[in-house]
């Protein structure tokens, strides 16, 4: 059974659904540790190169965490579940896979927009790259918010 679940998170509706799904799994199995990972594609070095100061970048990172992680952390806390949050910089698929490999992750949960084969191939989605290169099982969670009557728990 899974003991270390990595939830890929970008603040979108499909990543919120992935977090909700992972919380359900963690709540059903004792001793599961969940980690929420977000990957910033605009790096600190790029921001500094373009004229942002170190404190400005740090504040932007703190704001990102508050805005995107706050509701998820409260949701997990309300269920009595532990959640670790991690922010990385770089290519999302590469950083998710690297974190999973280096931290003994045995299950990745990631949202997907459910693009068709042609659109998905052209866009080269993060979820597709993670599925094809993952060292462990991956669960894809499709965003249900567009479905009639679907309600997010978060």
Q: Is residue 25 part of a domain?
A: yes
Evaluate whether residue 93 is within a structural domain: yes
State the pTM of this model: 0.82
Structural domain for 88, as ranges: 4-142
pLDDT digit string (tens) for 14-23? Answer: 899 999 999 9
Structural domain includes residue 130: yes
Residue 113: what pLDDT? 72
Q: Is residue 150 part of a domain?
A: no
Q: At which residue do the structure tokens 């979820």 appear?
A: 127
Q: Is residue 61 part of a domain?
A: yes
Residue 149 falls within a domain, yes or no? no
User: 149 falls in which pLDDT band (50, 70, 90)?
Assistant: very low
Domain count, the chain: 1
pLDDT tens digits, one per residue of 93-103: 999 999 999 99
**Assigned domain for 59 exists:** yes
Question: Hey, what are 40's tokens?
Answer: 């910033």
**Long-range contact list for 93-100, CB < 8 A, 24+ apart?**
93/126, 93/129, 93/130, 93/133, 95/37, 95/39, 96/6, 96/8, 96/37, 96/39, 96/126, 96/130, 97/129, 97/130, 97/133, 97/134, 97/135, 99/6, 99/35, 99/37, 100/6, 100/134, 100/135, 100/136
CATH number at residue 95: 3.40.50.620
């Amino acid at each position: 059974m899974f003991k270390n679940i990595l939830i890929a998170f970008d603040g979108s509706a499909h990543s919120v659904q992935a977090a909700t799904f992972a919380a359900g799994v963690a709540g059903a199995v004792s001793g599961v540790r969940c980690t929420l990972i977000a990957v910033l594609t605009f790096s600190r070095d790029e921001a500094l190169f373009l004229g942002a100061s170190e404190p400005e970048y740090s504040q932007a990172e703190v704001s990102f965490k508050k805005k995107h992680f706050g509701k998820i952390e409260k949701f997990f806390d309300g269920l009595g579940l532990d959640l670790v949050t991690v922010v990385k910089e770089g290519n999302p698929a590469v950083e998710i896979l690297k974190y999973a490999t280096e931290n003994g992750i045995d299950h990745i949960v990631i949202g997907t927009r459910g693009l068709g084969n042609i659109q998905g191939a052209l866009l080269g989605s993060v979820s597709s790259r993670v599925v094809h290169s993952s060292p462990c099982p991956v669960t894809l969670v499709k965003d249900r918010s567009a479905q009639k009557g679907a309600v997010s728990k978060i």
